[in-house]
Structure 1
Amino acid sequence: MSKVRWKPGNLIYPLPAALVSCRSKTHGDNLITIAWTGTICTNPPMCYISIRPDRYSYDIINESKEFVINLTTTQMARGTDWCGVKSGRDYDKFKECGFTKGEAEVVDVPLVNESPLAIECKVVEIKELGSHHMFIANVVSATVDDKYLDDTGAFNLNQSDLICYSHREYRKLGQKIGHFGYAVKKLKKKPRRKKIN
């Protein structure tokens, strides 16, 4: 097997296809599709989004210092893409895509009700990195769709038909192939059968 060397670039895929909602007194409510997002710390819970400064949502989040990361599903795919190519300067994205606004617990930003998981964030730092600026944020609340809660109260996010973004394509997440720690989990010994005399 041979390898081909490419120039340096962002080829870490797949990534979340997240709808980030935001609100400011100056610009109102908006949605932006973000793939450059992820977890950066567990305790305290922190995450980030990276946005180009020329995007309409950049000024909104820079002003309010709040946003919500809404994970997306196959049913939300067309609207998710639309929100990534159209500007909130020209459209009410909630209205155009048929997404409904929910009420956040902590931040003054609408949730996307169709999302199975909404993560409320407060910005603590903005890093100007080049083409994108990184908004580093504390996670201050999370809202889950109760139809993905089982009888024990466990949240089954993987049953929500999540999508991801991979090399300019939206992809449906596939089947389970393992779980955290399965590679080192000890197999349970089968109980010995008692001999009958």
Structure 2
Amino acid sequence: MKKTFETRKLYFGFPVFFLGYKDDVHGYNISTSSSAYSLGSMMVIAMRTKGNAITEITKHRQFTVNIPTQELTKESELAGFNSRKDKFAITGLTYTLGETVDAPLVDACPVSIECEVIEMVECGALTNVIARVTRRVVDDSLIDENEAFRSEIFSPISYIGDGAARQYRYYNDEAIKMGSIIKKIREEQAAEQENADK
């Protein structure tokens, strides 16, 4: 039985990422977040309106989304709990500038996405940033011989929890190809129909 769950927030599993941006004080900077989704060539992120990241992205209109793996959990926390400081200096992470945006790609992250802002929408204390993906960069170990993404071995950090406590979760080795379940069901249904027709 389900019951009403009173909580201030509920994160049901979102990827942790470093938001990279040009910073008028520190040159280039990053902030840790887990509020993002991408659909086709669109990227949507959300951050606190009064935070440094939104302040700088509002000015420069470009950013990057950099996806860390489990080995970068400590750096994710350091970049998330040190507001308005030079996070590259604090974390020891290095970066390369994007090719289509003037924003940093975190070198240690196996996946980075360059984005240009289309629209920014304030919602209370948060700002939603709608952007166009201009370039995707993926470590070659995550690209197979057919130039396809090796999603079965990519293991980002997931952010899960509620208003009382939040935690990081990591992927296991289990993976199921999308469409394989429905394909099997249809094959079984076809076999059952064939047997019924005999």
TM-score (norm 2): 0.84
Offset at 1:103? 2.6
The corresponding residue for 1:123 is 117
The corresponding residue for 1:113 is 107
Offset at 1:164? 1.1
Residues 2-81 of structure 1 correspond to what in structure 2 (within 5 A)?
A: 2-7=1-6, 9-25=8-24, 28-39=27-38, 41-42=39-40, 45-81=41-77
Match of 2:178 among 173, 177, 180: 180
Does residue 144 in structure 1 map to residue 138 in structure 2? Answer: yes
The corresponding residue for 2:89 is 95
CA deviation profile, 1:150-171 (whole Å, cap 9, x unmatched) = 2333221442432111111111
Offset at 1:56? 1.2
**C-alpha distance in structure 2 between counterparts of 1:59 and 1:30, whole Å:** 12
Offset at 1:179? 1.6
Offset at 1:96? 1.6
Corresponding pairs, count: 183
| Contact 1:27–1:60, Cα closer than 8 Å, also in 2 | no
Secondary structure in 1 matching 2:131: strand
Structure with bigger helix share is 2
**C-alpha distance in structure 2 between counterparts of 1:183 and 1:69, whole Å:** 31
One-letter amino acid of the structure 2 residue matched with residue 182 of structure 1: S
**C-alpha distance in structure 1 between counterparts of 2:26 and 2:96, whole Å:** 18
Counting aligned pairs with the same residue, the percent is: 29
**C-alpha distance in structure 2 between counterparts of 1:25 and 1:32, whole Å:** 15
Offset at 1:178? 1.7
**C-alpha distance in structure 2 between counterparts of 1:164 and 1:177, whole Å:** 16
Secondary structure in 1 matching 2:72: helix
Does residue 154 in structure 1 map to residue 160 in structure 2? Answer: no
**C-alpha distance in structure 2 between counterparts of 1:93 and 1:12, whole Å:** 25
Give the unaligned 5+ runs of structure 2: 191-198
One-letter amino acid of the structure 2 residue matched with residue 185 of structure 1: K
**C-alpha distance in structure 2 between counterparts of 1:46 and 1:178, whole Å:** 26
TM-score (norm 1): 0.84
Offset at 1:12? 4.3
Structure with bigger strand share is 2
Structure 1 residue runs of 4+, over 3 Å off?
A: 7-10, 24-27, 186-189
